[in-house]
Amino acid sequence: MAASSQLPSLDFLIACTLTGSELQEYNKIHYGRPDHHELTVKKSNQDNAEKNGFQISAYDFPARKEETRRPRIVKVGIIQNSIAASTDKPITEQRQAIFDKVGKIIEAAGEEGVNVICLQEAWSMPFAFCTREKQPWCEFAEPVNGPSTQFLKDLAIKYEMVIVSPILERDEVHGDTIWNAAVVINEEGKVIGKHRKNHIPRVGDFNESTYYFEGNTGHPVFETKFGKIAINICYGRHHPLNWLMFGVNGAEIVFNPSATVAGLSEHLWAVEARNAAIANSYFTCAINRVGTETFPNEFTSGDGKPAHKEFGHFYGSSYVTAPDGVRTPGLSRIKDGLLIAQIDLNLCRQIKDKWGFTMTQRLDLYAESLNKAIKHDFEPQVIRKK
């Protein structure tokens, strides 16, 4: 599903162009440190990745040793993948093909000792919301304990791993409504909760409001065996207050499972999740699907351009950022991938102490101003010449 004309990776291009002290200086300026602190991946998993056509990379984010707290080492994993069967195949066949593909990547993560893993937005289906067609795409919607959860819970138990599974949710209790949601499965294979996407795009081919509206679950943080995690689904990354509220609720790791295409958001991609990590003193994990998905029927973008069958190229480039703004290289723009980050959660408090962003953020001031702004008779605080 990868487009051969696409640039494989900006990070790889830089690494192949610069060497020695120049490359170290670039790394320090761009990534935040001269060396990526790469971790060794088991030979068996390297072979597994090569055999099954996915990239595997691993990095370390150490924290300063403290006298009063033990290190809180956690391994997080993020997966980006293309679809595995053409979109004209039966729904169950398409979904099973993705299960088979992603299952192999999760197994590699488990063998590497990953504690928490997050999949991409609507991972078990093509991102068909561009089509505005209800059938057959609504058939991918499933209850929280549906096929995706049943598939993943066994892997969660096998590897004692928390799995974040973003799905198209079917709420059978409330009128069979559909939501864009993320289900959290703990290391015992039990669903501990879900979060529904707060911000729904209405731009370009992202016609998602044809299928579901804004979520109603607030900004939940899930306390797991491996730390406090949250999920800021896709379009929420464009909204700084969405990131902020997960931090206010105590998140230490915020996953951003996404689906976004080249030509629309790629110049924003490396900025937003990284900036959120800095502003909120937590780890962020930005995940984007990869590949080009083609649909049976043509659709238009409402921009006067010809009808087409492709959404565009999903450019992958998934990455992890630490609270101090240091980040990993991104995964490939054209290839499935698993990125592993070994992190010390003590770094969250250490950076809060260093920069004082949470201490100085003035929530009281914002709350007062925002409470005024939401009223119909609001008058902006603009000082004009008398």
Instruction: Answer for the pair 258, 285: CB distance below 8 angstroms, yes or no.
Output: no
From the candidates 101, 153, 194, 197, which is the catalytic residue?
197
Neighbours of 296 (CB within 10 A): 11
Residue 197 is among the residues annotated as catalytic for this protein? yes
From the candidates 234, 285, 293, 348, which is the catalytic residue?
234
DSSP symbol at 345: T
Half-sphere exposure of 210 (CA within 13 A, CB side): 15
Residue 2 predicted with pLDDT over 50: no
**How does the average pLDDT of the chain come out, rounded?**
96
pLDDT tens, position by position, 292-327: 999 999 999 888 889 999 989 999 999 999 999 999
pLDDT tens, position by position, 60-78: 999 999 999 999 999 999 9
Among 164-178, 221-235, 297-311, 364-378, the minimum mean pLDDT is found in: 297-311
From the candidates 121, 142, 252, 293, which is the catalytic residue?
121
DSSP symbol at 181: E
Domains and CATH numbers, the chain: 37-373 (3.60.110.10)
Residue 5 predicted with pLDDT over 80: no
Q: For the purposes of burial, counting CB atoms within 10 Å of the CB of 231, is it exposed (0-12), middle (13-18) or buried (19 or more)?
A: buried
pLDDT tens, position by position, 66-115: 999 999 999 999 999 999 999 999 999 999 999 999 999 999 999 999 99
Residue 121 is among the residues annotated as catalytic for this protein? yes
Number of residues written out for the chain: 386
Report pLDDT for 70.
Answer: 98
Residue 3 predicted with pLDDT over 90: no
Residue 372 predicted with pLDDT over 50: yes
Q: For the purposes of burial, counting CB atoms within 10 Å of the CB of 86, is it exposed (0-12), middle (13-18) or buried (19 or more)?
A: middle
pLDDT bucket at 6, cuts 50 / 70 / 90:
confident
Report pLDDT for 302.
Answer: 84
Of the candidates 258, 280, 279, the residue with the CA atom closest to the CA atom of residue 331 = 258
Integer Cα distance of 2 and 332 in angstroms: 11
Residue 38 is among the residues annotated as catalytic for this protein? no
Alpha helices of the chain — where are they, by DSSP H?
10-17, 20-30, 43-52, 91-111, 147-159, 240-248, 266-280, 346-355, 363-373
